[in-house]
Amino acid sequence: MVFIDLRNVLDSSLDAMGAEDGVTVDLCGLVNGLVGGRNLVAAYVYDARAPYGTEDPSKRLRDRLEYLGFRVVVRDSCDPNRGVQKEVDVCLSCDMVAHALMDHFDTAVVVSGDRDFIPAIEHVQSAGKRVEVAAFRSSVSSSMVRAGDMFHELDSMPVMMPSHRDTDMAFGHQTGGIA
């Protein structure tokens, strides 16, 4: 089962590519590459909706990801004053621990460099499950790398290319979805 912190991945990909005009991240290719020959139970994407009354630039992206087979979880929890998301990391953590305790997977892959996930990773591991961490090297702490049973460096995966349209970020393959 794959758990993706969407904002972390998109922001980190910009840093990793050094691109100011945007980056296209092939999330379908990313998930398929991380899972490899294993059985994919589900791929979850976590994001926050823009504050009420403002344009939500990620809505089209989330709709496309859902169409491609991702399970999109959206929280109504973006702080408009600080421009930061709230509840997204906690929701991802709770879902990962709950799925582990319900024995829905053998291995979880957390796609984020955010060290706030370490307690959840430890709980999942204490339930006898493996947890792999996937992140860009420039945006992951060494403690997050050590927390997982395996680390996947996204910089070395062929899933990014420069883009000049922010609206196309993370759409994945136009014809296929996740395996």
| Band of residue 79 on the pLDDT scale cut at 50, 70, 90 | low
In this structure, of 15-19, 23-27, 95-99, 151-155, the range with the lowest mean pLDDT score is 15-19
Is residue 128 in some structural domain?
yes
Please give the model's pTM, rounded to 2 decimal places: 0.85
Cα–Cα distance between 31 and 29 in angstroms, integer?
6
Is residue 69 in some structural domain?
yes
Boundaries of domain holding 66: 2-168
Q: Is the separation of the CB atoms in 119 and 93 below 8 Å?
A: yes
Is residue 177 in some structural domain?
no
Name the E strands within 7-95. Answer: 23-25, 43-48, 71-75, 78-79, 84-85
pLDDT digits (tens, 9 = 90+) for 105-117: 999 999 999 999 9
pLDDT value at position 172? 44
Is residue 157 in some structural domain?
yes
105 Cβ neighbours under 8 A, 6+ residues apart: 1, 41, 99, 129
What is the average pLDDT across 77-86?
Answer: 62
Is residue 173 in some structural domain?
no
Is residue 178 in some structural domain?
no
- Please give the tally of structural domains in the chain: 1
Is residue 179 in some structural domain?
no
CATH of residue 78: 3.40.50.1010
- Residue 67: DSSP 8-state: H
